[in-house]
Amino acid sequence: MRIDAFLSVSALLATLQGVNGAPTGTGTNPPLRGSENLLGYSPSNTLNDENTDNIQYTPVPGQNEDAKVAPYLDFENSENPQPIRGDTGGTDPGPRNYYYDRINSDKLAPPGTDNGATINAMWPMGLSHNRLGIKGSGWARQQNINAMPDATKMAGVDMRLEAGAYRELHWHVAAEWSLVLNGSVRIQAVNENGETFVDDVGAGDVWFFPPGVPHSIQALDNGTEFLLVFDDGSFSEDNTFLASEVFLHQPKEVLAKDLDLPISAFDNLPGDELYIFPGTPAPKDIQEQNVTNSAGVIPQSQSYSYHFSEQPAHEVAGGSVKIIDPLTFPIASSFSAAIVTVKPGAMREIHWHPTSDEWTFFISGQGRATLFTAPDQATTFDYHGGDVGYFPQSNSHYIENTGSEDLVFLEVLQADQFTDISLGQWIGNVPKQIVSDTLRLSNESLNSLKKEKQYVVSGKYPSS
């Protein structure tokens, strides 16, 4: 923080705390409330006429450019970032949260192309309340409509399980789609036909459990962290159906009859839910847990897991894309997703999804996106690893890598196929006369338009 800004805040605190107006020589503490003589105009009133125009700062690269050109402003190492772009804005003497200003430059100094107010399309999981597992077994934090009221179609959970720890046997009203972020985990389920399922999945792999299907999740030797996405924006991890709670809220006589066991069998039930808790390490040989009955196992075509980590990425000019949807993972009939890697300076092209909202999780790196909502609202947001983005159906957006390392993120749709409409492909396939009459592009520009979808475009563009 510049000393000038510090002095401004100090002067404000002194004024608010009554330092300048404290009586002297009385030896008594001033009363809590002031005199009615302080109301309105009085010749005896004095002002702390501090000069707030003398705010010293150094513009970062691009800050003096035209506000509608709007390059990314890197305030990360700026001593005193200011809400200024080109000839717009003005200095801020405080009070301020300098940390948030430095990592959200497009909120502090938005592009001149931003207009009005869209929904809030960004939530850091780091601001979500963490629910801690017992005995150091892990944690879980979530994003739902409590954090992002307009994210009505999907909600997410970031969960960590230490080695051998369980996410307790449970089921949900909502469908659960998951991407393993790191480590490895054993998943198990029994469907409504009594068919059983067990598999080990690792970083980059995906699983899915339909609504109502009970399942368990146990971390293997090195622990795990995974992302859960649910098809209901109001979903809460706190409202799952837990095995411990089911048993605790049935009369023991009923349990005994139902399971053909003596009442004494239930003397040692947990006194409360377990949720996330340490357990006996899973056996190395998965076949030891491959429990079956007359119904057999779930057919491979309806498998609850997909080893997405083994799918090669589709390389494009600015990075790569991997798509998973019901065409290859049929059981997840309404979940379609893509893992997108964007190289430094490159950009996930401007696009929109005509049939679904997009729920996005930023895995690593940093980027920015402008959400455009008809007729003329536009807001630019900055994202970092661990943040959630949300872009409503048919609202256009891009995601630009603003850092020095690869930006990796997950796009999730509620759709039976991963699709989008590319702004570039659309304009490139409209008759040139129509584009020229509408956008007034030159013939040279029209001839350079691409007719194929790019997905991720490189960070280079021709100089004028």
Q: What angle do CA 384, 389, 390 make, to 5 degrees?
A: 175
Q: Kindly list the averaged pLDDT for each block of 10 residues, start to end, along the chain of length 464.
A: 52 57 63 90 82 90 96 96 97 93 97 97 97 97 98 98 97 97 98 97 98 97 97 95 96 97 96 95 94 94 97 97 98 98 97 98 98 98 98 98 97 98 97 96 94 92 66
DSSP β-bridge partners for residue 457: 347
**Residue ranges at the known binding site:** 170, 172, 176, 215, 351, 353, 358, 397
Residues annotated as catalytic are 411
pTM for the full model? 0.92
The DSSP H or E segment spanning 76 is: none
pLDDT of residue 18: 61
Residue whose C-alpha is closest to residue 363's, from 410, 310, 319, 397: 410
**Residue ranges at the known binding site for Mn(2+):** 170, 172, 176, 215, 351, 353, 358, 397
pLDDT of residue 53: 83
Phi-psi domain of 76 (left: phi exceeds 0; alpha: psi -120 through 50; beta: other): alpha
pLDDT of residue 409: 98
Torsion angle, CA of 119/124/130/133, rounded to 10 degrees? 120
Q: What angle do CA 438, 444, 445 make, to 5 degrees?
A: 50
Q: Which domains does the chain have, with CATH numbers?
A: 126-306 (2.60.120.10), 314-457 (2.60.120.10)
